[in-house]
């Protein structure tokens, strides 16, 4: 079982879209079981998958040691996909956790029982867009970091920053084996030179990490969450659906 954090401290780069659709597309392969953890108090992955964020359903109490993680796992309409939703309480854990000595490794400890014994092949964590306690604890818990990167100039600056943070967490000893497994270029628009230049440049610096699959800009991808649907449910014939199916295949191939 592998824990994958989908993170980038920048907002609006496609973290949640990638978390939802990659999870669903892997689960649709039918041989793998996925648990999607929504760790962003905004709850976009929760609502994007058709759940209403409700108080008392997130990892918040679990992080504070008051509840067991097993009680927070909900089934979804995909047989092989489960979810732990987010709620606004999670925002409070930024402050409450920061006051504890072990805040960096708490999530890691909580996930350990699932690592030892559960049906899940992958736990995918949708991270909030800030370098707070929730995101850093996700980086400390994750075997692998998957970074969605928007095809724009400032995307590169953000990349340098998250790579640095991941390195610091490694050096702190909280997660010595954590790796940057992948970088997924999102919102690609082939009509602009800048887009292509950014992709080329990121590939130069991170030849191993950048996925061959590039997620194109697609209006349908923007629409799907407002119906609480994944892109494969909302419009299977769209670019977005094709791209995320191919991302899931590449994800599994890289681990075969």
**Residue 50: CB minimum distance to ligand ADP, A:** 15
d(CA 108, CA 78): 26
**Is residue 39 a contact partner of residue 126, using CB atoms and an 8 Å limit?**
yes
Q: What is the sign of the dihedral through the CA atoms of 1, 129, 154 and 166?
A: negative
Residue from 59, 97, 225, 245 touching ligand ADP (CB under 6 A): that is: 225
Mark 40-69 with x for binding to Mg ion (rule: CB under 5 A) and - for no binding: ----x-------------------------
Residue 21 as a binder of ligand ADP (CB under 6 A): the answer is no
d(CA 28, CA 33): 9
**Residue 96: CB minimum distance to ligand ADP, A:** 24
d(CA 177, CA 207): 20
Residue 47 as a binder of ligand ADP (CB under 6 A): the answer is no
**Is residue 4 a contact partner of residue 123, using CB atoms and an 8 Å limit?**
yes
Binders of ligand ADP in range 26-45 (CB under 6 A): 44
218 binds, options Mg ion, ligand ADP, none, Cβ within 5 to 8 A by partner type: ligand ADP
User: At 148, is the secondary structure helix, strand, or coil?
Assistant: strand
**Residue 11: CB minimum distance to ligand ADP, A:** 4
**Residue 220: CB minimum distance to ligand ADP, A:** 8
**Is residue 148 a contact partner of residue 184, using CB atoms and an 8 Å limit?**
yes
Residue from 4, 5, 7, 15 touching ligand ADP (CB under 6 A): that is: 15
d(CA 114, CA 73): 11
Residue 190 as a binder of ligand ADP (CB under 6 A): the answer is no
State how far Cα 188 lies from the chain centre.
19
Residue 14 as a binder of ligand ADP (CB under 6 A): the answer is yes
Contact residues for Mg ion, defined by CB under 5 A: 15-16, 44
């Amino acid at each position: 079982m592998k824990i994958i954090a989908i993170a980038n401290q920048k907002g609006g780069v496609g973290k949640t879209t990638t978390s939802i659709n990659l999870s669903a597309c892997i689960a649709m392969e039918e041989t793998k079981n996925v648990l999607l953890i929504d760790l962003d108090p905004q709850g976009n992955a929760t609502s994007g998958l058709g759940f209403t964020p409700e108080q008392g359903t997130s990892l918040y109490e679990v992080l504070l040691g008051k509840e067991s993680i097993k009680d927070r796992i909900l089934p979804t309409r995909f047989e092989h996909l489960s979810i732990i939703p987010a709620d606004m309480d999670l925002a409070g854990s930024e402050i409450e956790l920061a006051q504890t000595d072990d805040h960096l490794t708490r999530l890691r400890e909580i996930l350990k029982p699932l690592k030892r014994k559960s049906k899940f092949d992958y736990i995918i964590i949708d991270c909030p867009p800030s370098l707070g306690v929730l995101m850093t604890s996700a980086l400390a818990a994750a075997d692998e970091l998957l970074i969605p990167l928007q095809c724009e100039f400032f995307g590169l600056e953000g990349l340098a920053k998250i790579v640095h943070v991941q390195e610091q967490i490694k050096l702190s000893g909280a997660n010595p084996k954590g790796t940057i497994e992948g970088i997924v270029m999102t919102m690609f628009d082939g009509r602009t030179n800048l887009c292509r230049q950014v992709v080329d440049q990121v590939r130069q610096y991170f030849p191993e990490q950048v996925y061959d699959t590039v997620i194109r800009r697609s209006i349908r991808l923007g629409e799907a969450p407002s119906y609480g649907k994944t892109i494969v449910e909302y419009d299977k014939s769209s670019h977005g659906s094709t791209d995320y199916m191919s991302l899931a295949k590449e994800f599994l191939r890289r681990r075969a």
